[in-house]
Amino acid sequence: MDLTSPPPPETPADALAAVVALRRLAASLERSAVDEALAQGWTWAQIGAALNLSAQAAHKRLSPGHRRPSYD
């Protein structure tokens, strides 16, 4: 991954499209990782700590059936 040469600033539309795509991919990775963590018996405190969130914040945002992206 070469994030040192993203779309140049004179093409903000392309750069912002890249931001959107990265957000989607990150959110997908987060969901998969949280699902796997829960399957392995992780607590919400542990998941929160891994994400720099409190247990309550992690549960509120990431519990299955209640998920919303952090950028929404």
Partner 1 sequence: MGIRTAVSDVSFMKSLFTAAERIAHDLGDPVMGAEHLVIAALDRGDLDRSELAPLPLDGPRFRAAVIAVHADALGSLGVAGTSTPIDEEPRGALHSTSAAQAVFQDARRSARARRAPLRAVDIIAAAARLDYGTTARAIDRLGISRADLQALAR
Work out the number of other CB atoms within 10 angstroms of the CB of residue 24: 12
Angstrom CA distances, 72 to 15, 24, 25, 27, 59, stand at 19, 11, 15, 11, 16
Asked if residue 14 lies in contact with residue 7, where contact means CB atoms within 8 angstroms, the answer is yes
Is residue 64 at the binding interface for partner 1, with CB under 8 A as the rule?
yes
Residue count of the chain: 72
Region near partner 1 per CB under 8 A, out of 1-9, 42-50, 51-59: 1-9
Which residue in the set 39, 41, 52, 72 belongs to the binding site for partner 1 (CB under 8 A)?
Answer: 72
d(CA 69, CA 72): 5
Instruction: Identify residues 18-47 at the interface with partner 1 (CB under 8 A).
Output: 18, 20-22, 24-25, 27-29, 31-32
> Least distance in Å: CB of 3 to partner 1?
6
Enumerate binding residues for partner 1 (CB under 8 A): 1-3, 6-7, 13-14, 16-18, 20-22, 24-25, 27-29, 31-32, 64-65, 67-69, 72
